Structure 1
Amino acid sequence: MPTDPDPRALQVSPLPYETRLETRPLSQVDLVVIHCTELPDLATAREYGERVLYPQRADGSGGTGNSGHYYIDRDGTCHRYVAPDRIAHHVRGYNPRSIGIELVNGGRFPHWLDSRHQAMEEGYPEVQLDALAALLAALQLELPALRYIAGHEDLDTAMVPASDDPAILVPRKRDPGPLFPWQQVLEAVPLQRLA
């Protein structure tokens, strides 16, 4: 897995509400959270990220949605939707201290909470994993406190009623899922897995 960051490969495309997200010092960021989009493609993930889910309040706050900071497509292209000094909404309870990286992957799409469709069968292409390793190496240079890495499923362990049968509980989040090669990634970057 090559880990030489290529800054030319990063495409900066801020979400429309990026400037309304709360700011933070980069010294506060000690965690990277790996997600998969659980959507069919990058365009759909971008569309979802642009949705305003938190109405704007009288004090000017709000007017934002859910999104990671970085998105890596299946072909290895990397997009930054939210700057690292902004707090993106990507994982419950850990947003102020973390960077969210979304890997384009179908996951359980479109039956996220259906008990009959919990398998995650799409793997991660090597070019996508190479881009992830390069991004993680670049972030380690930019973020002095960065020490930890976790999967979304490690941090959001809530169980919720299945959409097909409320008597069955299924994981709210399973990403990046069982096919994510943790050992390969941890060998490429000196981060400690936080669970």
Structure 2
Amino acid sequence: MPAPPPNAPEIRPWPLPYADRLEARDPARVDLVVIHCTELPDLALAREYGERVLYDTGTGNSGHYYIDRDGSLHEFVAPDRVAHHTRGYNERSVGIELVNAGRYPDWLDSRRQAMDEPYTEAQVDTLVALLRQLAATLPALEFIAGHEDLDQTRVVSSDNLEALVFRKRDPGPRFPWSRVLDAVPLARIRP
């Protein structure tokens, strides 16, 4: 992989215990970044969820990068591995998680679907710097999407069997799409 640009953000490696068991891939073939929010109250709980083993392979669900509210950037999975973050898009994408409560703790309650927490300036600044670095180091990278763009599955709500809610809503309505898209050379896709 080419060297990062001179103003690249500091990435703190914090590999998940099972990171080496994730499928290897050629990062030069990654063409998509998927933006998520953790929908958890803090980085510690996001880490705990990421460490949970959910598959026979001894791996679980996680993004590649996590950006905390203070703008600190943590790499849970290297981009040369396939992380499980967006059904149907994992092999071709990098997942970036922004720490944000989202709908926590009632993700599927039809009465609690608002995502009111704003993203911090520090998070957005780090995200833009990371996206610029990825665009400079991943030669095929040209697309960006929100998790909500790629997974529009509706499921029965947890409080009302008659109501359907979106399974994924992240990064949600408070995500500053215009600011991010104006700052990076990536095109937003919505299937």
Provide TM-score, normalisation by structure 2. 0.95
Q: Given the alignment, which residue of 79, 86, 89 partners 2:84?
A: 89
Alignment of 1:20-169 (within 5 A): 20-55=21-56, 62-169=57-164
String of CA shifts for 1:69-100, please: whole Å, max 9, x gaps.
00000000000000001000000100000000
| Distance (whole Å) between structure 2 residues aligned to residue 65 and residue 174 of structure 1 | 20
Task: Describe the SS at the equivalent of 1:133.
Answer: helix
Give secondary structure in 2 for the equivalent of 1:96. helix
TM-score by structure 1 length?
A: 0.93
Residues matched between the structures, number: 186
1:131 partner amino acid: T
1:190 positional shift: 1.0
**Is 2:135–2:185's contact at 8 Å kept on the other side of the alignment?**
no
Contact 2:16 2:76 in 1 (8 A): yes
Deviation at 1:169, TM superposition (A): 0.2
**Gap runs ≥5 in structure 2:** none
Aligned to 2:8: 6
Structure 1 segments (4+ residues) deviating >4 Å: none
Percent identity, aligned pairs only? 67
- Structure 2: distance between partners of 1:142 and 1:168: 44
1:82 & 1:24 partners in 2: Cα distance? 12
2:68 partner letter: D
Q: Tell me how far 1:142 sits from its aligned partner.
A: 1.3
Residue 4 of structure 1 deviates from its aligned partner by 6.7
Counterpart CA distance in 2 for 1:37 and 1:112 is: 11
- Asked whether the 8 Å contact 1:54–1:63 carries over to 2, the reply is yes
Give the aligned CA root-mean-square deviation in angstroms.
1.1
Cα distance change of structure 1 residues 194 and 4 upon mapping to structure 2, 3 Å threshold: farther
Q: Which amino acid aligns with 2:179?
A: Q
